[in-house]
């Protein structure tokens, strides 16, 4: 979006993402907006008046420890009252049964999942195609578990399914992803990358 600086003086809160940290830069944004207004009016710079507290119930704590380019007294933000995160249970992943589902890692950031393509190019934690191969077969493993639960075994939340997957890998190793043949081309992914791939499946249904 071009010209977003025009909104700095109007915003109740200005939030910045820096190195995976959420920073409250509301005060810094107001200082910039005030300085811009003075320059536009041809007035001599002076210390800006203390702004009112940000709306929305923002509370903050010191960010500390540096943070790359955050600067400007950036603060970590906590927003109370957002409410608990709902635990969602996958109800269906794919229309076909797990035996008829074919998956393949086409590239580092691309999985073929049945008739779909699962695009993972924005999942920057993937560094080797062997991780993508493991994720592709993990998706098939999860599809089988979801289908089994929908058939009367009881639905499990995504958190529970990922915990079961990790427990299976801890107990049986990566061979659990391909029980019918032993493959030496896997690298174990984290649960976060598996979840990222699952969330990109267009036929995924959650309840």
Which residues fall within 8 angstroms of residue 91, CB to CB, at 6 or more apart?
A: 146, 150, 155, 205, 206, 207
Residue-level pLDDT at 63: 44
Q: Cα separation of 40 and 116, whole Å? A: 53
pLDDT in tens, 9-40: 788 888 988 888 899 999 998 888 888 777 76
Asked if 167 and 127 count as a contact pair (C-beta separation under 8 A), the reply is: no
Residue-level pLDDT at 7: 77
pLDDT in tens, 119-150: 999 999 999 999 999 999 999 999 988 988 76
Residue-level pLDDT at 201: 94
Residue 39: phi, psi to the nearest 5? -65, -40
Q: Where are the domains of the chain?
A: 7-38, 90-206
Q: How confident is the model at residue 81 (pLDDT cuts 50, 70, 90)?
A: low
Statement: the pTM of the whole predicted model exceeds 0.85: no
Q: Which residues pair with 72 in a beta bridge?
A: none
pLDDT in tens, 151-181: 555 788 999 999 999 999 999 999 999 888 8
Mean pLDDT of 87-92: 86
């Amino acid at each position: 979006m071009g010209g977003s600086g025009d909104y700095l003086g109007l915003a109740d809160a200005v939030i910045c993402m820096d190195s995976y940290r959420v920073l409250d830069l509301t005060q810094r944004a107001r200082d910039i907006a005030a300085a811009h207004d003075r320059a536009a009016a041809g007035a001599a710079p002076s210390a800006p008046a203390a702004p009112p507290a940000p709306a929305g119930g923002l509370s903050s704590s010191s960010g500390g420890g540096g943070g790359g380019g955050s600067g400007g007294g950036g603060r970590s933000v906590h927003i109370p009252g957002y409410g608990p995160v709902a635990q969602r249970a996958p109800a269906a992943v794919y229309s076909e049964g797990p035996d008829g589902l074919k998956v393949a890692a086409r590239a580092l950031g691309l999985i073929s999942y049945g008739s779909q393509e699962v695009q993972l190019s924005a999942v920057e934690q993937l560094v080797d195609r062997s991780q993508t191969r493991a994720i592709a077969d993990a998706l098939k493993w999860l599809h089988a578990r979801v289908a089994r639960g929908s058939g009367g075994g009881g639905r499990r939340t995504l958190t529970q399914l990922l915990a079961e997957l990790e427990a299976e890998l801890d107990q049986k190793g990566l061979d659990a992803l391909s029980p019918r043949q032993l493959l030496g081309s896997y690298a174990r992914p984290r649960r976060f990358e598996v979840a990222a791939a699952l969330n990109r499946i267009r036929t995924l249904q959650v309840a």
